[in-house]
Amino acid sequence: MKLAYRGFDKSGKPVSATIEANDQALAVDDLRRKGLYVTEIVEELVAGHRANSAAGQKSGSVRGRAGNRLRHLAMFSRQLHVLVHSGTPLAHALNAIERQTENPAWRGVIGSLRKRVEDGSSLSAAMDDHPGFFDPVCRSLVAAGESSGAMAGMLERLSALARKQLQLRNTILGAMVYPALLMCVGLVVMVTMLIFVVPRFAGMFTTLAVPLPPTTKMLLVLSDVLRGWWWAGLVVLVAGGVAGKIWFTSARGIRWLQGVALATPKVGKLARNLVSARIARLMGVLLQSQVPLIEARTLTGKAAGNGRYSDLIERAQDAVSRGESMSVGFEGSDLINASMYEAIRHGEESGQVGPMLLHVADFLDEENEVLVRSLTSLIEPLILLWMGVVVGFIAISMFLPLFDLTAATQGGAQ
């Protein structure tokens, strides 16, 4: 059958053409041997229909299961590595994993992989049908394992990569739980005081005809607005949330947010280290897995998760296409630290770029854990201080007229 494909050649230039082959997996293998990295391949006659269908499946999969993807992938690759390493045929291994999987959606995905493999397709080709679960890096590692005959080793590397990413994600989320809880408690306390406590003081002030300071008047007005126009506040909150979600999920909003994160003190260093560690680990694993350099750079740029770093990797790719070393593209950039740049440069000289990048990634991961803990220890007292200032301001503003009344009464009695 005639297949239409898109991809990149050895110099990094995009290419698109057609090829005659009996199977998509055979076509991809043939194109790889010619030095091409394939990003999309479909039957030519129904290319448009399949592309739209795949895009719909992809977006649905990502929206519904992105939160559990890493956990599923880490467990799946680990189980499959153990079974394949012990000599279990791939189809039987997938069948065993499918039977013991509890999540219905994930069990359906593994069942689909098993059926495709039983029909003669490669595992990487079967994974192409589920891009929401298996990202390009995962599929490229599996394809490299299939072409080299070292599937068990590749699955072990994939499992280690997924577990490391999952561990980092859990570390960051776990560190932010307590500060987020403090913020929620502070907001609830403030709103509760304005809605239920301040109105009681307002009635007392009216009865006593006490002159009110500006801060007390401001709180009374804010309390009246919250109680009388709460629905307007709710509408504004929902509209702001929807608008914020649309903005921060757009390409422009994401890039702006990434720029703010990189420029913020403390947070910027952590953001740079997190993305640098991700890039170093991804590229290190891909290069150690004998994935071609051009393919490794392309995959790393797509999986970087930050547009500025994707541009940096593209700059390194342009340097290689001009006949220069990859480290030239990273030279002088403030996005990566000196240790990562030196690791790339010395790795190119010794032919050990992959191992050097993995060592740097391990070092950055350890440093990131320290940075996350220090940032959390800095945020928590700031939130507590903010809560104390807000609650204290409300309390003082409410009691200040009573203090003035008491002082006036005592002065009159004298």
Q: Is residue 150 part of a domain?
A: no
* Whole-Å CA distances, 22 to 27, 30, 121, 126: 8, 12, 11, 16
Predicted pLDDT at 26:
72
Predicted pLDDT at 58:
41
Mean of pLDDT values over 26-53: 61
Q: Is residue 91 part of a domain?
A: yes
CA distance 160 to 175: 22
* Whole-Å CA distances, 39 to 128, 234, 389: 10, 45, 55
Tokens of 376: 């959390």
Q: What one-letter code names the amino acid at 159?
A: S
Residue 182 — very low, low, confident or very high, per pLDDT cuts 50/70/90? confident
Q: Is residue 31 part of a domain?
A: yes
Q: Is residue 361 part of a domain?
A: no
- pLDDT at 104 exceeding the cut of 50: yes
* Choice among 34-43, 123-132, 234-243, 357-366 with the minimum mean pLDDT: 34-43
CA distance 152 to 365: 26
Q: How many beta carbons lie within 10 A of that of residue 243, not counting itself?
A: 10
Q: Is residue 342 part of a domain?
A: no
DSSP 193: I
Q: Is residue 249 part of a domain?
A: no
Instruction: Provide the 3-class DSSP secondary structure of residue 305.
Output: coil
DSSP string, 323-367: T--HHHHHTT-SSS-HHHHHHHHHHHHHT-HHHHHHHHHHHHHHH
H helix and E strand count, the chain: 17, 3
pLDDT in tens, 7-18: 766 655 667 788
% the chain with pLDDT above 90: 6
- pLDDT at 5 exceeding the cut of 70: yes
Mean of pLDDT values over 377-384: 85
- pLDDT at 98 exceeding the cut of 70: yes
pLDDT in tens, 44-58: 543 343 433 343 344
Residue 239 — very low, low, confident or very high, per pLDDT cuts 50/70/90? very high
CA distance 139 to 142: 5
Sign of the Cα pseudo-torsion (332, 338, 340, 346, in order): positive
Predicted pLDDT at 60:
37
CA distance 256 to 269: 17
Predicted pLDDT at 171:
82
Query: Which of 129, 126, 128, 124 lies closest to 141, judged by CA?
Result: 124
pLDDT in tens, 259-310: 888 888 878 888 888 888 888 888 888 888 888 877 888 888 878 778 888 8
Predicted pLDDT at 96:
92
In sequence order, the β-bridge partners of residue 40 are 6
Tokens of 406: 């008491």
pTM over 0.85: no
Predicted pLDDT at 25:
67
Tokens of 257: 């947010």
- CA 258 from chain centre, in angstroms, equals 12
- pLDDT at 81 exceeding the cut of 80: yes
Q: Which domain holds residue 14?
A: 2-134
- Whether the CB-CB separation of 25 and 116 falls below 8 Å is answered with no
Q: Is residue 30 part of a domain?
A: yes
Tokens of 123: 């595992």
CA distance 195 to 363: 51
Predicted pLDDT at 353:
84
Residue 94 — very low, low, confident or very high, per pLDDT cuts 50/70/90? very high
Predicted pLDDT at 54:
41
- pLDDT at 249 exceeding the cut of 90: no
Q: Is residue 209 part of a domain?
A: no
- Whether the CB-CB separation of 43 and 2 falls below 8 Å is answered with yes
CATH code for the domain in which residue 11 is found: 1.20.81
| Domains identified in the chain, total number | 1
- pLDDT at 205 exceeding the cut of 90: no
CA distance 411 to 407: 6
